[in-house]
Structure formats: C-alpha cells, structure tokens
Chain A
Amino acid sequence: MAEKKNPGWAGETGEFEALTEADVRGTAYVGQRPRDGGHPGASCSFPYQLADRDPDAPLFEGDYRARFEKIVSRYPNRRAALLPVLAMTQEVRGELSAASMDRVAELLELSPAYVRGVATFYTMYNKRPVGRYLIQVCTNVACNLCGADDVVRAFLEALDTEPGEIAEDGRFTVIEAECLGACGFPTAVQVNERYFENVTPGDVPAILDRLRREDAARSNGAGRGSAQEGEG
C-alpha cells in the first residue's frame, strides 16, 4: 500500500500520518468482539458480511446460541429480534437461503412467509450467494461526480467479471451500491465489513492484492472473525 494514499483511511490521506490504520478504523479500541455478543446491549454489532462462512453451519449453537438469547432479551417481543437474527444468520452462513429463513421463522415464532417478506425488503441480506469478498462501489451522486463509474469499471476489468457475478473461484463479487455515507471521501468502497475511501482506479490493483493476501491467510487457518491485516 502506498505511503501517502491509503484507501480505507477516512479523510484526505496524509493528514492522518500520525495515526495507524487500526487507530482510524477503531480496531485498536474495539479489539476482537467476543463471538457470544459481549454485553447484550452491544450484541447486535457484528458485521454480517465476512469472508469466513459455512453454508451448512447450525442455527445456532455455542457462542452464537448465547448471542441469539442476548439479542432476543433486548426487545419487548421476539419479532423485533428479526433483523439482528437474520444478520447473524448471514454472518454465519454467508447468505440467506430459503431454508435459513425458515429456521429463523421457527426460532422467532413467525411465519416463513413473514420472514421472507421482511428479508426481501432489505438489500443487505443476500438471497443468493456472493463471493467471499463483496465489493460494493458507491456510485451515487457525490462519488459519481468524482469518478465512481471509473472505479467500478476498474474493479470489473481487473477481475474480468460482470456486476453481481462471482469471480476468481468464489473470491469476489463486485456490485454498485447506493450512498455509503462517506461522501467527503470519494470514491467510497465497502468490502465486507470495511470501508476503503478516496479510491481511484489506480488504487484498485493494490486493494485486490491485499484482499487476495488476506484470503490466503484466512484459508490457512486464521479462523473466523473480521481478520484485519496487521498494519500499524
């Protein structure tokens, strides 16, 4: 990664020279969130787009079961736990299959049709498989003015893929996203749980190389969780 221009660091980079990436992203403060959810009030904070996933994992056992109970305890009725529980399902399995949604319906005592009706309303629930790294490029107005279309093209060309398709044997999916709320740092790109900011077409190869390195490290047994490359 180039010294002065650090995608993933908010702001015009170079101004943040005194800070590490962990400082900027907050990972130095947060550390590794406990898989059982930690405090119940904070148990819905997990990224539900991770490279590690298991489509056949049980819903839910062990730490995840503990987290499920904590989530349900925070609302006056079980239905209100639906969004966080769908999120945890996707975190574990990588997507929301019909069978997964049925299981969530059973757990929360809702009808399967109701759960599907809610799940299909929200864009972040993947109703079909995506690559281990879901690359979402903001192309809404603020990023668009600053060349977001070129960033999308650079990702698609570098991976020789089409929007929404799975590239590199399951590794990547590239899609256009609506406003990611980082308009001052265009182009904003979300890759699973992380933001990369100020991204230009020239940054794309370095971002992809970094993700490939992380993917290789992960498959060598880095384990579940939001594996961050140890920088800074």
Chain B
Amino acid sequence: MAYPYRHEREVRILSEHFGDPAARTLAGWRERGGYRALAKALEMGPAAVIDEVKASGLRGRGGAGFPTGVKWSFMPKDSGKPHYLLINADESEPGAFKDRELCRWTPHQVIEGALIGAHAIGAGHVYIYMRGEFFEPAQIVARAIEEAYAANLAGKDILGSGVNIDVTLHLGAGAYICGEETALMNSLEGRRGQPRIKPPFPAAAGAFGMPTTINNVETVSTVPHIIVNGGEWYRSFGTEKSPGTKLFNMSGHLVRRGNFELPLGFNLKELIYDVCGGIPNGRSLKAVIPGGSSVPILHADEIDIAMDYESVAKAGSMLGTASVIVMDDSTNIVKQVRRMVEFYAHESCGQCTPCREGTEWVARILRRIEAGGGTEADLDTLLDLCRNMTGTTICVLSDSAAAPVLSSIRKFKDEYLRLIRGGKSAPEPVVAA
C-alpha cells in the first residue's frame, strides 16, 4: 500500500500498515498477525511481560525517553487498589504528528499494546486520552474498541484468561499542557489541566489517587512486536542505549515530509538529505529543530549527528519526540521563535508565575524586535527572563518556551541584531506546500 513517500532505508515495524485501510479492521489486523501478542502476554503473566520489555530496552516515546519496563516495574504489586493505565494520545507538540497516524491507521495496534501494558501493571482500566481535535482518529479508535469488546479482547475474562481490562476513550478539549502526565490525570478527572507537584509520583498516587502509569501511543504500539519477537530482536535495531526504531516526524522545508520509521541513531543529515530529499526550491539549510518545538535549535552546521537520545543531548539539544522541523535560508528565525513562544504563552496553565508572566513578556519583546522597535538591551532582558523561566516551575512548559529563545539568540544573534539595527531580516519563504 502506498503511504506517501516510503523510503528504502526505512525499517517499518510500527508503520508497516500505514496507508492500508484494510489493516484498521479487527479481521484485517488479525490477518496481519494482530492480537497474537496479547494472547502470548496473557499466558506469560505480568512479571515475564515486564522482563521482556525491560530486556528490549524500549524507552518511552513521549519525549522523556524513560525505560518503559522500568516504569512498569514501579507499580505496586499487591496494593489492593484499582490500577490505571493512561495512554497519552494528547499529541500537540508543534512538529509531532506520529500518534495521530498510529491511531488512525493502526487502532488495534494501539489497543493491543495498551491491553498488554495494562496486564503487566495490573490495571483493570485503560483510558486513552486523545486530544479533542482528533475527531477522525477518535472515531476510528472507538470503532476498534467496540470490535475488541465484541471479540472478547477487552472487558471481562479476556480470551478466557480470567483477566479483566476495560478500555475507555476520553477526549481532551484543547490544551497542550494536558500532554504533561500529571496535567493529563487532572484533566481526566474533570479538572483544569494543571500539572501536579511530584512526588507523589503517578505509580504511588496517580489518576483518582490510585497507582497509575502513563504511556505514549507510540510506546505501547511497540510492545506487541516486542512480545511476539522478543526483547533481543528489538535490540537488533538502534543503538546500545537507544534501541529500536522510531517514527521520525519530518516537517518544514523538505522535499518529502511525513513520518519515516528508522532505527534510532540514524544520522540527521542523511535523514534530511537522503530520506527526505533535501531542501526544496534550490534553497539551503539554515536551522533544524530535532525534537519538537520545545527543544533547542540546531544550526545547519550542527546536524551531522546520530538521532538517539544520547547523541542529540550531547549536541546540546534533545531527541524529544523526534519531530524534526527543518528551516531553509529564507526563514525569519525571530518570527518563528516568536510564533513558538506565543504558542507557549497561549498554552501556559497559569499556575506558576515565571511561566504565566514570562512567556507573555518574552512574546511581547520578540514582537517588538520583529517589528523593528527592539534594542540591544532587549536581548539581555530576554536571556535574563529565559534563565528565570528554566527550572523554576512545576512542569517544563516554561523551560520549553525558553529553549528556542536561548538557543536562537546564541546561534542566530546576527538575525536579531539585524532587525534591531534597522536592517532587513531574511525574506519570508515562498514555498508551495
């Protein structure tokens, strides 16, 4: 099936059936090997499932990269309380568009992985928290949930195993911050989506005060493949510390945009120039954001790096969700940074002063600079503000807003100065989408 722009270097584990509508149905999914992993996991039992996922080295795909099996092992064994598994499908980091693809093309892959995860942590209820805008994927996942219940893959006594797991789809209502795990729990509980102070950590007191684990859609989608093929097999892809494949979300000024599944550790330069066909319209590369809008910007001469958690961190940025936003030499960096900061100002939940006030102040100063009314002292003010927004709040939204400002002033100071001193910034791009 023709998912746009498949590339010969891709290793398609999660995305093998993207673009194939027959893979959505339960019958179609089973024909493609679906739900064998669930049956196997139910036989293995929770401890063996956790061990296998630990052995795979799978790291959470929501951005932080925490080892999934270790996270699962934090859940209490005999708490006597209800346990919950929350699937984070609140994908809203600018640049990220992988979970939507997983949900709308392979809903049963997501549900099967969620059921295995729930079994592993002793959860009797899975909530799939999907961002409210994703109506189309939500209806597809809803249909798949109904099919799963009808086939005794969810609900009571799943496949005769005696295991009971309910699955409920829950839609958000437009708030980026609800992708933060404790804000997600508050939102699920019918509260404002404001992050909670940790500790207590979710495994001790999470949703509804009960032991809870939150996993990203891409993370749980990977689990069935690990259960069927083994942790060692999964380790044959990627690097020692960042095993496996990852959906790379490629956007911006590229000949080919879209999701490409590649082993972790794939070279960023090759990703841009080989897999995605390079920069269109005869332009050259100016900057790359390697992991979604909340990570530091890389300069064009910093991209010869491996895309794994450690290497990107060593280069001064973060792999995050591997959402790569590519900017050509026509890009007005100040404008794009301003646009990102306005996003964080809009999405700040308002609990912490450095974030609530800082994001708005930074946005105002950037607007002033962009309009030609800035001063060189503004740059010092921005740096001071951003330093005070880093590490001073309950969650990292504030840090995320500061990251592109700090990194762009460090790496593209000449663009700021050109605007401040009255020169013209680089022209706006003229790109046909």
**Chain A residue with Cβ nearest B188:** A80
Query: Is the CB–CB distance between B171 and A44 below 8 Å?
Result: yes
Q: Which residue of A lies closest to B2 (CB)?
A: A15
Chain B residue at smallest Cβ distance from A25: B136
Nearest-neighbor residue (CB-CB) of A178 within chain B: B343
Q: Which residues of chain B have C-beta atoms less than 8 A from A178's C-beta?
A: 92, 94, 176, 343, 346-347
- B293 is an interface residue with CB less than 8 A from chain A: yes
B226, CB-defined interface residue at 8 Å:
no
- Which residues of the other chain, B, contact A187 by a CB distance below 8 angstroms? 433
Residue B251 at the A interface, CB < 8 A?
Answer: yes
- Assess the B193–A122 pair: CB atoms within 8 A: yes
Give the chain A neighbours of B343 by CB distance below 8 A.
Answer: 140-141, 178-179
State which residues 326-342 of B face A: CB under 8 Å.
327, 331, 335-336, 339-340
Q: How far is the CB of B30 from chain A (nearest CB, A)?
A: 15
| B186-204 at interface with A (beta carbon < 8 Å) | 187-193
Report if B100 contacts A (CB, 8 A).
yes
- A42, B145: Cβ atoms closer than 8 Å: yes
Identity of the chain B residue whose Cβ is nearest the Cβ of A108 in the assembled complex: B190
Contact across chains for B433 and A142 when beta carbons are under 8 A apart? no
* Min distance, Cβ A63 to any Cβ of chain B, angstroms: 16
B146 within 8 A of A: yes
Which of B140, B168, B257 interacts with A26 by CB under 8 Å?
Answer: B140
A80 B256 Cβ-Cβ under 8 A: no
B259 touches A29 (CB 8 A): no
User: In chain A, what residue has the closest Cβ to B330?
Assistant: A145
A interface bracket (residues with beta carbon within 8 Å of B)? 35 or more
Q: Known A124-B132, A145-B253; judge A83-B346 contact (CB<8 A).
A: no
B102 to chain A, nearest CB (A): 12
Report A-chain residues with C-beta under 8 Å of the C-beta of B216: none
Find the B residue at minimum CB distance from A31: B143
Categorize the interface residue count of chain B: 35 or more
Q: Is residue A159 within 8 Å, beta carbon to beta carbon, of the partner chain?
A: no
Let me know if B208 is at the binding interface, CB within 8 A.
Answer: yes
A172 close to chain B: CB less than 8 A:
no
Q: B383 contacts the other chain (Cβ, under 8 Å)?
A: no
B258 touches A145 (CB 8 A): no
A135 in the interface, Cβ–Cβ < 8 Å? no
Complex CA gap A179/B25 in Å reads 29
A199 touches B142 (CB 8 A): no
Once bound together, how far apart are the Cα atoms of A92 and B40, in whole Å?
A: 44
* A142–B251 CB distance below 8 A: yes
Chain A residues near B168 (CB-CB < 8 A): 40-41, 44, 74
9 cross-chain CB contacts under 8 A = A12-B4, A38-B142, A41-B145, A80-B189, A140-B293, A178-B92, A179-B95, A181-B131, A198-B433
Chain B positions near chain A (C-beta within 8 angstroms): 1-5, 19, 21, 24-25, 82, 91-97, 99-101, 104, 131-143, 145-146, 149, 154, 166-176, 187-193, 208, 249-253, 256-259, 289, 293, 323, 325, 327, 331, 335-336, 339-340, 343, 346-347, 349, 429-433
Q: Top 7 A-B pairs ranked by shortest CB distance?
A: A45-B142, A11-B4, A82-B190, A124-B174, A122-B173, A42-B142, A123-B174
Beyond known contacts A80-B189, A141-B325: 7 more, CB 8 A cutoff? A29-B143, A30-B140, A39-B145, A45-B169, A146-B252, A178-B346, A185-B258
